[in-house]
Amino acid sequence: MTTDYAAIYNHQTETNPGYSQAEQSPGFKAVLENATEISHLKGRSLDVGCGVGFVVELLNTYPYRFEAHGTDVSPTVVEQASNRNSQDRIKLSDGSTLPYDDASFDLVTCFDVLEHIDEHEVEQFCNELRRVARPGATIMCSVALREASAIDLFGDNVHRTIRPFDWWAQYLRPDKAHWTKHPMQAIYWHVKGINSK
């Protein structure tokens, strides 16, 4: 049975006001907390699971120097993100394949998304992040390492894959990583080499 992520996150966005507040966005916080490192990068960026577009909007502003793009599986949030950003910069994803060509981006971000997908889809999803990254690109991901307080419209925890720090590293192949206790969250950085797959 295929999980209907679009229905889940349409519903979450429509019923949870936190999805529409920048201060509640893990990605928005992660970009601000890592501003020095990110602001040294430039080119095209892609935020995967962009939600209503806070990270895309932020990366389009000073001190960041990106042509920022975003994609999400939820038509509801894609519409909101398109209203916040240039409409041609936001695309709807089918949840398994990113709607971009190989080697298209210099920075690929994916904030608190991976734990929301089913475990058997994690490897393919991580492969997609690498596929759209150019050689030498930076991939930055955050992953929640705990259950969420929210239950989806089907009665499941919205964090579908809860695994420890090292388990995620096998798929994300980080050059560096760290985790925090409050919240239980990990940040993984990977620079895609010419021979990376």
Q: Tell me the CATH number of domain 5-191, given options 3.40.50.9100, 3.40.50.300, 3.40.50.150, 3.40.1280.10.
A: 3.40.50.150
Give Cα separations from 117 to 8, 22, 124, 169 (angstroms).
11, 22, 11, 16
Mean pLDDT of 178-186: 85
pLDDT over threshold 60, residue 195: no
What's residue 86's pLDDT?
A: 83
pLDDT confidence bin for 78, thresholds 50/70/90: very high
Q: What is the mean pLDDT of residues 130-145?
A: 96
Question: Concatenated DSSP letters for 48-84?
Answer: ET-TTSHHHHHHTSTT--EEEEEEES-HHHHHHHHHH
3-class secondary structure, 189: strand
Q: Cα(89)–Cα(58) distance, rounded to whole angstroms?
A: 13
Q: Are 122 and 143 in contact (CB under 8 A)?
A: no
pLDDT tens-place string over residues 81-119: 999 998 899 999 998 899 999 999 999 999 999 999 999
Amino acid 182: pLDDT:
73
pLDDT tens profile 14-25: 998 888 899 889
pTM for the model stands at: 0.95
